[in-house]
Amino acid sequence: MKTVPEFFGSHVFDDRVMKSSLSSDVYNSLKKTIDEGATLDISVANAVANAMKDWAVKNGATHYTHWFQPLTGITAEKHDSFISPAPDGSVIMEFSGKELIKGEPDASSFPSGGLRATFEARGYTAWDPTSYAFIKGKTLCIPTAFCSYGSEALDKKTPLLRSMEALNKQALRILRLFGNDDVKCVRTSVGPEQEYFLITKEMYDKRPDLRFTGRTLFGAKPPKGQEMDDHYFGVIKPKVAEYMEDLNDELWKLGILAKTEHNEVAPAQHELAPIYTTTNIATDHNQITMEIMQKIAAKHGLVCLLHEKPFAGVNGSGKHNNWSISTDTGINLLSPGETPYENAQFLLFLCAVIKAVDDYQDLLRISVATAGNDHRLGANEAPPAVVSMFLGDELNAVLKAIETDTPYEGAKTTQMKLGVDVLPKFNRDTTDRNRTSPFAFTGNKFEFRMLGSSNSIACANIMLNSAVAESLKIYADRLESAENFKEELDKMIRKTIKDHKKIIFNGNGYDDAWIKEATEERGLLNYRTTPDAIPHLLDKKNTEMLISHKVFTEKELHSRYEITLENYCKTVVIEANTMVDMAKTEISPAIAKYTADLAKAVKNKRIADESIPCGYETGTIKKLSMLNDSIAIKTAELEDAIIKLQDAKNVEEEGYAIRDTLLVKMSELRSFCDQAETLTSKEYWPYPSYADLLFSVK
């Protein structure tokens, strides 16, 4: 059997393969394209395509695909085989540079938010050489960006790459001012921790709600949930361990650095975290990871649930986006330095993030807004919908000392002057991690915790990178024209702390008192739901910023606004229809049948002997019959509410109607059905219970 180092990356056309299969000229030009974004010559592309094809065919591939990330949030691929007919009736395997660089999938069924006129349904995919090609099954997958005929981005990768470039540009300006002339490039890196549930396929198949919507729409609370806290970091069950082993092997073959795995808080919930890498690649890898997780689960007779809230009343699943900024020379710019001078640079970058998070709270919230995540944010397990930052005691004390020009306790110097020569050395934060903060500093990186488990991490990182690029730009503009660099730096850091300290909160983010303080005293935003949040994507301050850094065009922003709201509406409407269907065709009939059988039992008892007590039967019949009437009424009301959505004039109005009516009706219907479940014999109830689902994997 091969060892991990022997098979790691064996399905990836990575640097090792490139070096060994390309001539040094071709390799060097490709490297220049990858590292510096130089345009690629067609002759180089041809040579790369040929080497890629030979390598892929040798490794069992028969097809290739341009692999891309449309706005559906998942990945897409259209397979073409390498075969090409030869005159003698045989075939040869062919793949040209042109086919590598550009694809033209028929894109008419991908969401475009009005960007693609119907007469030009074609979309274009363009090779992203910064992310390695890989083999999945029998297909060579080429990571690509996806755009329209008019070059507007129709995907998540393009704006992500643009946002990384924006941040690179502004960060380099700052680094030059600090005299770091050797740095060629600044990149953000991300390590996304991925949460998920595992249940058996057998149970899954019995739940139409899980099959159609990814979450349970009905289900009474189980007698045992997560109360005992006995699952978190608990012993991993044998079936789950086998799954994780297989999953790791597959991910490692694809060059994905799967590193840690453990049980999460809820029963059947687990987490996987990779070692961090460049944001663009981390995003591709996270998409592949989610796909492979589901594929491997199927092999084990399991289903991997990536929905944010598969079970009401049980912790949902999120994704923690660990994010930092570093240079190609290996310096993490969010790591406190060794010298006062380095610390001044660190503080400036820290301030840039503080300012960015405060100025663009709304964009961060928007970047994680989906129907699924709405069930999680603000519940007792996930950060609230209010964005705030946690910095830890040490940094807080440093910032306070700077702001108030008072001595910093932790430092040896008596006076905390920011003049860069006397800035004290401070230690890496060692305080307890605040797990309730949406955006926490964790020593040398920030952890953005609002992402939902099924979200592409692209959106959050696009907004984060762009907002920080904007802060850095403002700083660079001022510092470059300053007469006295140190004084200007000092002034700006102080001003940032003063202006933006309202975003810093070190207490319990799950506390109701915090939401009150945040919104009423501090004036922080609280966009509770997706329809509350998304319209603000088009606020002037947001569009201006994103357009000025060339991350989005105005049209692209409009299309994303449309698509996100559309996704929200479609998702909830599918859920509502599924509920109606389940209630009408299975739940109500099951209750009717059970009560009828109970009534029969009562009748038989009475025939046998009038004096046999029938209290249980008659009591249950009465309660269930009342509940079933209410279920019928609520089902009809829900159906009505679905039909009324057609009156909405636009997708924004539809979103509000869903928020205010449809979701309310859904939860009313659910509550009657869940009560009925607790009174109905298990034999009659059409679906596996929460306990069956949550404790199904042994």
Residues that bind ligand ADP (CB under 6 A): 189-191, 193, 260, 273-276, 320, 322-324, 332, 444-445, 447
Closest CB to Mg ion among residues 451, 651: 451
Cross-strand partners of 126: 102, 145
Beta carbons of 448 and 464 less than 8 angstroms apart: yes
Which residue has tokens 């660099």?
485
Closest CB to ligand ADP among residues 321, 689: 321
Tokens of 481: 């024209």
Q: Beta 186-200 vs 277-278: how paired, if at all?
A: antiparallel
Q: How far is the CB of 351 from Mg ion (least distance, A)?
A: 24
Closest CB to Mg ion among residues 194, 471: 194
- H/E stretch holding 190 reads strand 186-200
Beta carbons of 80 and 63 less than 8 angstroms apart: yes
Which of the listed partners (ligand ADP, Mg ion, none) does 358 bind, with a CB threshold of 5 to 8 Å by partner kind? none
Beta carbons of 157 and 280 less than 8 angstroms apart: yes
Closest CB to ligand ADP among residues 146, 196: 196
Tokens of 218: 């009905």
Q: Which stretch binds Mg ion (CB under 5 A): 187-195, 291-299, 355-363, 602-610?
A: 187-195
Q: How far is the CB of 248 from ligand ADP (least distance, A)?
A: 14
Closest CB to ligand ADP among residues 444, 630: 444
Which of the listed partners (Mg ion, ligand ADP, none) does 26 bind, with a CB threshold of 5 to 8 Å by partner kind? none
Euclidean distance between CA atoms 276 and 259, whole angstroms: 10
Closest CB to ligand ADP among residues 200, 326: 326
Q: How far is the CB of 249 from ligand ADP (least distance, A)?
A: 19
Closest of 395, 360, 413, 410 to residue 493, by C-alpha: 395
Tokens of 192: 């996304």
Q: How far is the CB of 284 from ligand ADP (least distance, A)?
A: 15
Closest CB to Mg ion among residues 193, 209: 193
Q: How many residues touch Mg ion (CB under 5 A)?
A: 2
Euclidean distance between CA atoms 522 and 536, whole angstroms: 20
CA atoms within 13 A on the CB side of 271: 22
Beta carbons of 530 and 655 less than 8 angstroms apart: yes
Q: How far is the CB of 352 from Mg ion (least distance, A)?
A: 23
Q: How far is the CB of 266 from Mg ion (least distance, A)?
A: 16
Euclidean distance between CA atoms 493 and 473, whole angstroms: 14
Annotate 356-370 with b (16+ C-beta within 10 A) or e (fewer).
bbbbbbbbbbbbbbb
Contacts of residue 583, Cβ cutoff 8 Å, sequence gap at least 6: 631, 634, 635, 669, 673
Closest CB to ligand ADP among residues 431, 444: 444
Q: How far is the CB of 623 from ligand ADP (least distance, A)?
A: 45
Beta carbons of 33 and 129 less than 8 angstroms apart: yes
Beta carbons of 325 and 171 less than 8 angstroms apart: yes
Residue number of the CB closest to ligand ADP reads: 191
Q: Is 285 in the site for Mg ion (CB under 5 A)?
A: no
Which of the listed partners (Mg ion, ligand ADP, none) does 260 bind, with a CB threshold of 5 to 8 Å by partner kind? ligand ADP
Q: Which stretch binds Mg ion (CB under 5 A): 192-200, 344-352, 455-463, 497-505?
A: 192-200
Q: Which stretch binds Mg ion (CB under 5 A): 312-320, 481-489, 625-633, 661-669?
A: 312-320
Closest CB to ligand ADP among residues 456, 628: 456
Q: How far is the CB of 188 from ligand ADP (least distance, A)?
A: 8
Q: How far is the CB of 271 from Mg ion (least distance, A)?
A: 8
Residues 315-354, mask of contacts with Mg ion (x by CB under 5 A): -----x----------------------------------
Which of the listed partners (Mg ion, ligand ADP, none) does 445 bind, with a CB threshold of 5 to 8 Å by partner kind? ligand ADP
Which of the listed partners (ligand ADP, Mg ion, none) does 269 bind, with a CB threshold of 5 to 8 Å by partner kind? none
Closest of 13, 19, 252, 52 to residue 130, by C-alpha: 13
Q: Enter the DSSP assignment of 520.
A: I
Which of the listed partners (Mg ion, ligand ADP, none) does 319 bind, with a CB threshold of 5 to 8 Å by partner kind? none
Q: How far is the CB of 4 from ligand ADP (least distance, A)?
A: 17
Beta carbons of 88 and 106 less than 8 angstroms apart: no
CA atoms within 13 A on the CB side of 179: 4
- H/E stretch holding 41 reads none
Q: How far is the CB of 272 from Mg ion (least distance, A)?
A: 12
Closest CB to ligand ADP among residues 195, 556: 195
CA atoms within 13 A on the CB side of 501: 15
Euclidean distance between CA atoms 385 and 375, whole angstroms: 11
Binding site for Mg ion (CB under 5 A): 193, 320
